[in-house]
Amino acid sequence: MRILMLSDVYFPRVNGVSASMRTFARDLVRRGHEVTVVAPSYGPEDQTEEFELIRLPSRRIFFDPEDRLIKSSALRGLLPQLLARRFDVIHIHTPFRAHQLGTRLSRLSGIPTVETYHTYFEQYVSHYMPWLPAPALRSGARWISRRLCHGVDHLIVPTQQMLRVLNGYGIRTSSTVIPTGIHLDEFSGGDGARFRELHGIGRERPTLVTVSRLAVEKNIVFLLDVARVLVKEFPDLYFVVAGEGPDAPRLKQRARDLGLHDHVGFLGNLDRSTQLLDCYKAGDIFVFASPTETQGLVLIEAMALGVPIVSTAVMGTATVLERARSARISAENVAEFAGHVSQLLRSPEERRRLSAAGPVDAEAWSAPALMQRVVDLYHRLARA
């Protein structure tokens, strides 16, 4: 099959959508399908891929400087080229210019469209436009979601929790729940001792790790509050925060205000094939508390690498953690969360047990098995 994937975001912009798209595209190519990805250009650092990657000129967004908005002129210029090619399915991954291009191409060509609802926008919008009333923004996000989802032939939704949200919006587009998953072979190995040595973290120092975009909705400030409680019990505790994002200055100031300057390391984005694996493995425990994830791929990555987890379980993370034997689930309560972490830090035997269960838990999220369901869906849409 020939699949056209469209997105308003892709690497080097690091987030779940970029990771999901790369997993989709690489797995499809390995299965013998032809994949073309259209995404914005971020500048000279743009990389090549094993599939066709078309970069379109874009501009910065004033309230979200990490992201780019594809220029309308670029869409108009590309449309005739795409119409001249014979794609079987158009897979849209974001609801902005990519959605606009995909639905227009579908109307002109008759090619079926499927869109993945990656992001719980209702919970995000007020963080990015705080000068507008939050209730109005949430209502607007629901209205826009209905309009966009009714404009495609089929929806892929990562979890049942997210599907219930969309049903609550009144969206009636046919849908299939298919998580993205990860390639387990890409999340094996890792050298935690090497990472600790590189960053001056003592081998015996109790260390927590989180991997996340630094944004308000990721709730990292909650984890800092947890760390403040734990430092009283573990005076040499260290908390590694890997990732970048617009909330970084506020989080760093918050860490200073809490007296955690010597206990928290903000390390930015790490190379996914080397440093990131080492970072995960350096942690005694992986901690996570985002309430807005449609899936929570970092939890699966931590499982695959055998890192014990303490996490809240809301929306997509609830699905990932539902049957996990490698995790301790906590409410979003600082004392309760800190208590789970404290118990694990004081019990090497329990950490070893959770660590051993992680790779087994991760097998349920193996991308190749999940991707077969996507391929089957593509075939059904193409035949309809």
Tell me, yes or no, whether 176 and 309 share the same domain: no
The whole-number pLDDT of residue 138 equals 86
**What is the Cα–Cα distance from 182 to 88, expressed in whole angstroms?**
25
Q: Which residues have CB under 8 Å from 370's CB, separation 6+? A: 178, 179, 180, 181
In tens, the pLDDT along 258-300 reads 999 999 999 999 998 889 999 999 999 999 999 989 889 999 9
Tell me, yes or no, whether 136 and 189 share the same domain: no
- Rounded to the nearest 10 degrees, the angle between the axes of helix 16-30 and helix 367-383 is 80
In tens, the pLDDT along 129-146 reads 676 687 888 899 899 999
Pick the closest to residue 363 from 177, 184, 180, 160 (CA basis).
184
In tens, the pLDDT along 172-200 reads 999 999 998 899 999 989 999 999 999 99
Tell me, yes or no, whether 376 and 229 share the same domain: no
The whole-number pLDDT of residue 213 equals 93
Range of the domain at 320: 184-363
256: pLDDT strictly greater than 70: yes
How far apart, in Å, are the Cα atoms of 324 and each of 96, 137, 154? Answer: 35, 35, 30
Tell me, yes or no, whether 20 and 157 share the same domain: yes
Beta bridge partners of 154: 114
Tell me, yes or no, whether 84 and 136 share the same domain: yes
Tell me, yes or no, whether 7 and 123 share the same domain: yes
Q: What are phi and psi of 349, to 5 degrees?
A: -65, -40
The CATH number covering residue 76 comes to 3.40.50.2000
Number of domains in the chain: 2
Tell me, yes or no, whether 277 and 316 share the same domain: yes
Tell me, yes or no, whether 43 and 97 share the same domain: yes
126: pLDDT strictly greater than 90: no
The whole-number pLDDT of residue 224 equals 98
The whole-number pLDDT of residue 14 equals 86
**What is the Cα–Cα distance from 55 to 227, expressed in whole angstroms?**
41
Tell me, yes or no, whether 326 and 230 share the same domain: yes
Q: What are phi and psi of 324, to 5 degrees?
A: -70, 130
Tell me, yes or no, whether 44 and 60 share the same domain: yes
The whole-number pLDDT of residue 43 equals 84
Tell me, yes or no, whether 242 and 212 share the same domain: yes
Q: What is the mean pLDDT of the chain?
A: 94
Tell me, yes or no, whether 148 and 258 share the same domain: no
The whole-number pLDDT of residue 148 equals 95
